[in-house]
Chain A
Amino acid sequence: MSRKPVFLEPQVLIFDTGPLWELILYSAVHDLGFLSLKPELTHLQTDSSYGRLSAYVAGFQKRTTTPHVVAEISSRIRDRTEQKSHSAIWGLVFTEFSSMKMDEGVMKLLEMPQELVANIGAVDVSVLKLGLSFRRPKPLVLSIDGRLIAECKDAGVNAKDLWEVISEENP
């Protein structure tokens, strides 16, 4: 008798900026005590929602993102947090990346469809293209951006909204 596959979900998780930013903000607020950043947290407002996201991410063998997403995180740190906390927040980003063994897939601008870039932006297209680059193992894009999720699904790439992951119906 053959064994059932252990993973019911796809095995590569591709992070869009939103969920990654939430993880970083959550740590900044709860581990570093940067309480002024709490209003920035739009999704991970409780310990249990953080726990659900953390457990969900843990179910993937591989976690990856794109340098475009990293650049977007960088500009959020610059624009939305105080200069004096940048060093500590970047410390968190490095810790999250190394602890999750986060990979990055380079997607070149000239290899992206220009119209789609004009329509949804280079960051979203980089995430979608990264999703399309995987055949095996199967990828899943995690985002808070409805437009990107729709584009991914149209292109045959599995995508999920962070709300679905952290909702209470998803213990």
Chain B
Amino acid sequence: MLPKKQSRRIAAWIYVVINPIIDSLGRELSFLNSANLTWRVRTGQCEIIKTLQEYVDPGQWPNYQVFVVEYKNSPLLPGFRQHDSNLEAVNTAAKNINLWLINSNMFMEMFEASLKQYESQRSLIGPAAQSLVDMKQSVQEEVAQHLINNVPTLPAHYVISSFWNFSSKNFLALRTAPEFQSLHRSTEKLFETSAKLKQVLEAFRLTLSREYDVPAAPVPGISFEG
């Protein structure tokens, strides 16, 4: 049987645009669900949560761009724009919080006190509890990052894990400070947009799949060669 008109393009969009975006949104939602933004001081951006185009293999960006052009008037595209602008807001809010923390007396005093307490007790914690006094600045940056990402515990092999796992409860309490409100709001908005977009894309994939008789994932033996 000859393929239906357009089915090869539709297959390409499903496999290299829609599916990777749906997968990535699922991953994004599971991080956002625990308020882990995967934000990094090093880059000033969320590491795992990205713009929608970045979820597509760069070699397939032409297919993404054609998809965006072909569906420019569909209700999908405002969702795409909303996602990326919400993500930008999250990145900006996280950057602002990081600046606030590093310049905040409250945070610095808490940091100094926690570090002092940790250093005085680390021999009791065990040999993995390394002294951190010589790397104070990088520890401060990491603490701020884990606080922004709402990380409760770290794996043992991370150098600051003993310190963080010992004092994270106190630091994470700072997340209730009014300065965090903008970050919480933008995270919530991103979560809502991403959840809705994932649903819409799944429904859209189903429609395309039915309309053009294209399986939702590549099936060995079924080719779309014309």
Measured CB to CB, the residues of A under 8 A from B are 6-7, 23, 32-33, 50-51, 53-59, 61, 63, 82-84, 87-88, 91, 94-95, 98-101
Contact = CB atoms under 8 A, between A and B. Distances in A.
Nearest to A34: B27
Secondary structure class of chain A's binding surface, majority of residues = helix
Interface string B40-57: 101000011010001111
Contacts of B50: 87
Contacts of A58: 128, 156-157, 161-162
B30 to A, nearest CB: 7
Given A83-B57, A84-B57, A95-B47, A57 B130 contact: no
A18 to B, nearest CB: 16
B59 A83 contact: yes
A27 B174 CA distance: 28
A101 B40 contact: no
A33 B156 contact: no
A42 B215 CA distance: 33
Given A82-B57, A87-B54, A7 B40 contact: no
B157 A53 contact: yes
Contacts of A50: 155
B20 interface: yes
B62 interface: no
Interface in B2-51: 20, 26-27, 30, 38, 40, 42, 47-48, 50
A91 B48 contact: yes
Contacts of A101: 135, 159
B71 interface: no
Nearest to A23: B157
